[in-house]
Structure 1
Amino acid sequence: MRSPCKGDAAGSECEILELDPYTRIVFNWGFVGPDRLDGPTFDSRRTLTFTEERDGTTALTLVHEHLDDLYAAMPDVADNASPGWTDVLDKLATLVDAGWWARNKKESNMRTLIVTEWMTLDGVVQSPIYANEDTEGGFAHDGWHAQYFDDVSMSRVVASVTTADSYLLGRRTYEVFAAHWPHASAEEQTLAQPLNSRPKYVASTTLTEPLGWRNSTLLRGDLGTSVRTLKQTGNGELLVIGSPDLVQSLLEEDLVDEFRLMIDPLLLGSGKRLFPTDGQARPLRLIESQQTSTGAILATYVPAHA
């Protein structure tokens, strides 16, 4: 995985070569000066390794090797006891492009709760795909999102679903998915396989166990407490799909780590909105955006304090 890094005031630049969150980062490191008009000169290759210790802490080790042949046999090693270690981490956090460090500096034994939504420009998320998916409030615009799909947005959907380790769903979304994905066509198996086989957690006060869809578990008790426990007792990505009422509750509990939104160039004027209207300000930070061929915007946000 290759990703450029942004330079800082000191003129240093880096280039990510390999990325394995919580385990290892390999990157080239160099400097840009007034005599380097053609761009950065990467003079060393560094490997940042994360190792979990027996006491539950994480040891960080930095190894760098000079790329110049004259110094190839002179590796330097620093660990988290080194006086310069904090500076190295701070600089890497500044340099890495698209907010990677902010997304991946969480401890590896915590699930990351990610919300993925299709949304109109005026914030409506109700019934985006299926006919009569959600007609509450007399909503008559079901299926409004399908016309805005293209290869780019579909690839993003596949990536989000297939990289998630588990899913968190509200009652209505769960019922729609449970009726469809176990009987999905051969063409839909890229999405159907992970959705059918991986753990699914359902937030509902009306459903009862056993739930019919394989590997589905009903959350019990207080929602905030249940989801916090989920986040603290696993790792990887916990993906919320749709489920706008659930998302509002998670926001009120400050449990959302990332939003992946597809914002369609459409105003509906009515329908359920994604975000709560409780008067509370919740600053977000944009870490990635892309325009699709249909005029939609793919945007990823994290809480500004992350």
Structure 2
Amino acid sequence: MRKITAGLFISLDGVIEDPQDWHFPYFSDEMGAAVDAQLGSADTLLLGRKTYDSFAVAWPDRELAGEQDAAMGKALGDARKIVVSNQDLQFTWRNSELLKGELIEAVTALKNQPGATDIAISGSVSVVRQLLEAGLLDELHLLVHPIAVCKGARLFEEADTPLPLRLISSATFESGVVHQVYTLADTAPTGTYEDAKVHLPQGDQ
């Protein structure tokens, strides 16, 4: 079964909306390598319509321009791109197709298809939320920027129950961005202050 990974630029206060307004000053070679490892090396991309539309407007031209980001543009263009949308879309970017059927059922089937790499998601927050809730997202890559944006949509919305996650890895870049990789945890930990206070410094007895 193939893994599904999602990569998101996120601010310190949890904002994921309009990263183009605050993200670029923090981009570095370290972040570029992290993005390429999660997204650029994937042979299959799963994208929400808004994310797909923004990619389809920008990346084909960047590939044709032949500048420093052309290799990423070619990798994204060559990948199979599966778009989650309730609309019947017309595609001009090569290797693009509409996800057929209900999201959870279709993605479950997609995970069972053969492939050389993980299935990668970029942005596409609504898709990420639904796959997390359904237990289908294997890795959540958060590039946490050292800035509080203070406005805009956040990754996690209010819900009746918490969503337990387990940290797989964490790396701090020179820019101050922290690359955190999470997977779903089986259960949320439990405990009370009585349990916690045994870990406080005891001082002199």
Alignment TM class, shorter chain as reference: 0.7 to 0.9
- Find out whether 1:194 has 2:72 as its counterpart: no
Contact 2:5/2:38 (CA < 8 Å) preserved in 1? no
Give the structure 2 partner of residue 278 of structure 1. 159
- Secondary structure at the aligned position of 1:294 is classed as coil
- Find out whether 1:230 has 2:102 as its counterpart: no
Shift of residue 213, structure 1, vs aligned partner? 1.4
- Find out whether 1:296 has 2:162 as its counterpart: no
Tell me, in whole angstroms, the C-alpha distance in 2 between the residues paired with 1:159 and 1:295: 19
Tell me, in whole angstroms, the C-alpha distance in 2 between the residues paired with 1:253 and 1:305: 13
Cα deviation code 1:94-138 (max 9, x no counterpart): xxxxxxxxxxxxxxxx12110100000111111112xxxxxxxxx
Contact 2:135/2:184 (CA < 8 Å) preserved in 1? no
- Find out whether 1:218 has 2:109 as its counterpart: no
Superposition map of 1:75-224 within 5 A = 110-129=1-20, 143-184=21-62, 185-186=65-66, 187-206=68-87, 208-224=88-104
* Letter matched to residue 5 of structure 2: I
- Secondary structure at the aligned position of 1:261 is classed as strand
Tell me, in whole angstroms, the C-alpha distance in 2 between the residues paired with 1:210 and 1:270: 33
Contact 1:161/1:191 (CA < 8 Å) preserved in 2? no
Query: Rg larger in 1 or in 2?
Result: 1
Shift of residue 209, structure 1, vs aligned partner? 4.1
Tell me, in whole angstroms, the C-alpha distance in 2 between the residues paired with 1:255 and 1:232: 12
Cα deviation code 1:51-109 (max 9, x no counterpart): xxxxxxxxxxxxxxxxxxxxxxxxxxxxxxxxxxxxxxxxxxxxxxxxxxxxxxxxxxx
Bigger strand fraction: 1
Tell me, in whole angstroms, the C-alpha distance in 2 between the residues paired with 1:253 and 1:283: 13
Identical-pair percentage: 36
Bigger helix fraction: 2
Cα deviation code 1:126-167 (max 9, x no counterpart): 1112xxxxxxxxxxxxx2111111221111112222321210
- Per chain length, whose mean CA-contact separation is higher, i.e. which structure has more relative contact order (CA < 8 Å, sep 6+)? 2
Give the structure 2 partner of residue 29 of structure 1. none
Give the structure 1 partner of residue 194 of structure 2. none
Give the structure 1 partner of residue 136 of structure 2. 255
Contact 1:161/1:194 (CA < 8 Å) preserved in 2? no
Q: Unaligned stretches of 5+ in structure 2?
A: 188-205
Contact 2:7/2:39 (CA < 8 Å) preserved in 1? no
Tell me, in whole angstroms, the C-alpha distance in 1 between the residues paired with 2:143 and 2:152: 17
- Secondary structure at the aligned position of 1:213 is classed as coil
2:150 to 269, 276, 287: 269
Shift of residue 221, structure 1, vs aligned partner? 2.2
Contact 2:13/2:149 (CA < 8 Å) preserved in 1? yes
- Find out whether 1:287 has 2:168 as its counterpart: yes
Shift of residue 250, structure 1, vs aligned partner? 1.6
Contact 1:166/1:198 (CA < 8 Å) preserved in 2? yes
- Find out whether 1:239 has 2:117 as its counterpart: no
Contact 2:39/2:121 (CA < 8 Å) preserved in 1? no
Q: Unaligned stretches of 5+ in structure 1?
A: 1-109, 130-142
Shift of residue 295, structure 1, vs aligned partner? 1.1
CA RMSD of aligned residues (A): 1.6
- Secondary structure at the aligned position of 1:111 is classed as coil
Give the structure 2 partner of residue 39 of structure 1. none
- Secondary structure at the aligned position of 2:161 is classed as coil
